[in-house]
Structure 1
Amino acid sequence: MTTQPIETTHSQAYVPPVLAGDEMPVRWSIPLALFACVVLAFFDKISIAALFSDTEFQNALGLSFDPTLLGLLMTAFLLSYGISSMFLSSIGDYIEPKKLLIWMMCVWCMLMVCMGFANSYRTMMMLRIMLGIAEGPLFSLAFAIVRHSFPQRLQARATMLWLLGTPIGAALGFPVTLFILHHFGWRWTFFAMAALTIPVIFIVIYGLRHVNVTPKLKAAQLAKSTPENPVLSRKQERQELYKSWQFWLICIFNIAFLTYLWGINGWLPSYLIKGKGIHLEQVGYLSSLPFIAMLLGEGIGAYVSDRLDRRAMSCFISLLGASAGLVLVLYIEGTYQVIAAMAFSTFMWGIGAPNVFALLAKVTSARVSATAGGIFNGLGNFAGALAPVVMGMLIAASGNMDVGLLFLVIVAVTGCVVLLPLVKRY
């Protein structure tokens, strides 16, 4: 089976290595194992937010209810997570991603145990920063593993499977943490997460047992080397990556893509209540429909795009449709109509979620997958995490909830425009 050359930023094209998914049976245990890992990571990430209102937790850290200091525990994690994603993910291009991932999970386990024993705010802050550093490379490693294990025609579906761990982990994390908190106390929320890490490590070891990226990749590249089409060193390929305008356009698009996600996650309930006058206590079941629609969009988008193999077009239509849905929300009234428009918007966003990683794989070299994924994910999460703050400032300055939603529309349309040069080519 032959592979088609991918053009670099220069006139010379280089042939990507033969991927494992082209040579051996496709193993769906790989993205399923990564799914379990991502669910666990989101348990660890959000569990502390459920403790902010717990008096015993506050007293143990020497705090009263101080929203600023408590919020900093989450902010510190997000900042260290973004920095780690951008600057440490490249380690996955030198150390086999599977081994690195397993060692990372062992560190998560130890940090969660330490948090259970924490007795001061300073200690908890330090441990949250360390957890962010330890979790930062996760998405880039998952991207690299799937890229080397699946052919292009299946990458969106494989990516969708492990990406589902993000909303599912967030949805399950709060109720599980609250249950443990109310029955066993705040320290056991961390001990339980540490205990849960152990079986997930074994799931990852078993699910990724056939993944052996580095040796196969090197052999395949050497086999493809010719005087006219030489194999570049990793250093040269990183330089090619940094010079690639296609790569940076995808990163900018991802900033707009994640700004939408963080903005919706941060302000959707408040917007529906204060902006549209919807009483969620009466129709609370409807508030989950946009997120259900998002999951449905991810599944359909992955399947259709794998069939068509038009990654950039899928991403473009996804974010453009998401912005169109938000425009509808701005101009219509009525509880059911607003919820339906919001669900349409999140459904369209979900279509692009697995495809943006598949597009990244099309444009970048396989040997620097972890580096590319780390920069891509780190920049997106940094900018996206600012979305709720910027929206809050705009709403406060204007006194109008619609202004915050309009900000998301403008950012989304900008992301679509940025992606236009890639739509025909990829």
Structure 2
Amino acid sequence: MTAAETPATQLAKASPAAQDPGIRAWIVTGMLVVFMMVNFADKSVLGLAADEIRQDMGLSATEFGLANSAFFLLFSVSAGAVGLLADRVRPKWLLLTMAVLWSVAQTPSALGGGLAVLIGTRILLGAAEGPAFPVAQQTAMSWFPNHRRNLPGALVTLGVTLGVITAAPGLGWVIDHHGWRAALWVVAAAGVLWALLWVLLGADGRHPTDETDSPPPRSADVPATSAAKPAYRRIFGTRTWIGTTAAYFTTYWAVALTLVWLPSYLHNGLGHSSAASTKLVALPWVLGALVLLGQAALTGWLMRRGVSSRWARGRVGGILLFLGAVACLTVPLVDGTGSKTALLVVGFGLGGSFATVAVTTVSELAPPARRGGALGTMNATVTTAGLLAPALVGRLVDTQGATGYQSAVVLTGVLLLLGALAAFTLIDPDRDAVT
């Protein structure tokens, strides 16, 4: 590369084949969307069946919250460990192993047992699902150059939303007519079916322009191997990785509460019927899906016009978190079930929308040989929110009654506000890119 050549110049010179990922890339991306749908359908069962499970097992809100927090006990550790492993082992086989383990983990509670069995199986399920999102994103993005990663990244994240949207009415019906244990059999079967299809259709990719998407010039005296594989501490020490991880933590806090406690808040806190709550809980995910696609389109449009990632990703993501924070913080200030419900939909829908910004930002920051570890460690850090949030809200509900739900929403608003601040002030991949 000459001194006058920039990554953009290289991209313009690339052959059409190098720029077009091809049909196989989109087939794999579609499979990964379904993968994340099954993943979050698994997670949503306990939230959808919260009242039934508490009644069946005689659990307090605190005990039920702890059972859900148990899911994240090994979730974060597994996400970090397998994320690092994904830089050495083919992601195709890691994804297959995860899907099989999900189905196995559902079986003991589906067969019977009490709280101890439920907690044990949730710990196992969490360990198997912890690496799912970063490894799926790493696999999808390995088929695309940097300037085309916003859409596949958004689509894989959209699988999270679609999983909950489809699970809410479908699993809700199964729970109402056949019990919550039957719903576990349904998601276990879905995991097995996906695994069989993945054996046939799954594949790893490495886009030809991946190594030259956005690397700053490297001095001639730096060995190629060190440039390809910098120390992880260099990545984790950048303000971009720190700011992205902090902002993403607040999004995951909102996601955890949406999964575990929002159905109960709508029913027990705001007075919606059980059937209405099952339908309403899908609305934040629907809004989140629309926001994800809009954010991906806007970010891609900005970057194609030369706008830096600091603005196209960091500032756009920060604005979404800020708007979600405002909605959550406004909930105690309005009267009426309808107004509070609308604000919850907006707050959690926008507050849970930072994931695609996070993974595309870190994918731009880290070189391909360190991308799995960078994404996995970020996911391991942010998912500690899932360990803390359900138990804390359960405690608030036991001590404050229905008011505890509202206190949890206010706390979520404060965290989202801090996340927006981190995104605005710290994220700048062009400044911090590690080679």
TM bracket (short chain): 0.7 to 0.9
Task: Quote the offset at 1:361 in angstroms.
Answer: 1.5
Task: Quote the offset at 1:138 in angstroms.
Answer: 0.8
- Does residue 44 (structure 1) correspond to residue 47 (structure 2)? The answer is no
CA shift digits 1:111-158 (9 cap, x unpaired)? 444555566765554443333222221111012112211222232221
**TM-score normalised by structure 1 residue count:** 0.77
Q: Give the match for residue 224 of structure 2.
A: 231
Residue type of the partner of 1:104? M
- Does residue 364 (structure 1) correspond to residue 357 (structure 2)? The answer is no
- Does residue 93 (structure 1) correspond to residue 87 (structure 2)? The answer is yes
CA shift digits 1:231-283 (9 cap, x unpaired)? 344764323223333212211111122223334555556666787xx542497
Q: Distance in 1 between matches of 2:106 and 2:394?
A: 32
Larger mean Cα displacement after TM superposition, 211-220 or 291-300: 211-220
Map 1:9-408; keep pairs closer than 5 Å.
22=19, 24-25=21-22, 27-47=25-45, 64-67=57-60, 72-113=66-107, 116=110, 125-173=119-167, 175-177=169-171, 179-180=173-174, 189-209=183-203, 211-213=204-206, 227-233=220-226, 236-266=230-260, 268=262, 279-281=271-273, 288-309=282-303, 310-349=312-351, 351-391=353-393, 396=399, 402-408=406-412
Checking the alignment, whether the CA contact within 8 Å between 2:99 and 2:191 is kept in structure 1 is yes
Checking the alignment, whether the CA contact within 8 Å between 2:322 and 2:420 is kept in structure 1 is yes
Q: CA 1:220–1:362 in 2, change beyond 3 Å: closer, same or farther?
A: closer
Residue type of the partner of 2:242? W
Checking the alignment, whether the CA contact within 8 Å between 2:134 and 2:375 is kept in structure 1 is yes
Q: Distance in 2 between matches of 1:178 and 1:274?
A: 17
CA shift digits 1:6-42 (9 cap, x unpaired)? xxxxxxxxxxxx9x97464363222211111112222
Q: Distance in 2 between matches of 1:335 and 1:183?
A: 28
| SS class of match (2:86) | helix
Q: Distance in 2 between matches of 1:123 and 1:391?
A: 22
What CA RMSD, in Å, does the superposition of the two structures yield over aligned residues? 4.1
Checking the alignment, whether the CA contact within 8 Å between 1:311 and 1:359 is kept in structure 2 is yes
| SS class of match (2:71) | helix
Q: Distance in 1 between matches of 2:66 and 2:405?
A: 25
Q: Distance in 2 between matches of 1:238 and 1:33?
A: 30
Checking the alignment, whether the CA contact within 8 Å between 1:301 and 1:350 is kept in structure 2 is no
Residue type of the partner of 2:7? Q
Larger mean Cα displacement after TM superposition, 333-342 or 241-250: 333-342
Checking the alignment, whether the CA contact within 8 Å between 2:364 and 2:429 is kept in structure 1 is no
Larger mean Cα displacement after TM superposition, 247-256 or 224-233: 224-233
Q: Distance in 1 between matches of 2:31 and 2:92?
A: 11
Q: Distance in 1 between matches of 2:91 and 2:347?
A: 35
Task: Quote the offset at 1:191 in angstroms.
Answer: 4.4
| SS class of match (2:412) | helix
Task: Quote the offset at 1:316 in angstroms.
Answer: 0.9
Q: Identity percentage over the alignment? A: 21
Checking the alignment, whether the CA contact within 8 Å between 1:82 and 1:136 is kept in structure 2 is yes
Q: CA 1:188–1:324 in 2, change beyond 3 Å: closer, same or farther?
A: closer
Larger mean Cα displacement after TM superposition, 314-323 or 200-209: 200-209
Larger mean Cα displacement after TM superposition, 298-307 or 403-412: 403-412
Task: Give structure 2 stretches of 5+ with no counterpart.
Answer: 9-14, 304-311, 431-435
Q: Distance in 1 between matches of 2:248 and 2:318?
A: 11
Larger mean Cα displacement after TM superposition, 110-119 or 140-149: 110-119
Q: CA 1:245–1:272 in 2, change beyond 3 Å: closer, same or farther?
A: same
| SS class of match (1:150) | coil
Larger mean Cα displacement after TM superposition, 186-195 or 211-220: 211-220
Task: Quote the offset at 1:381 in angstroms.
Answer: 1.5
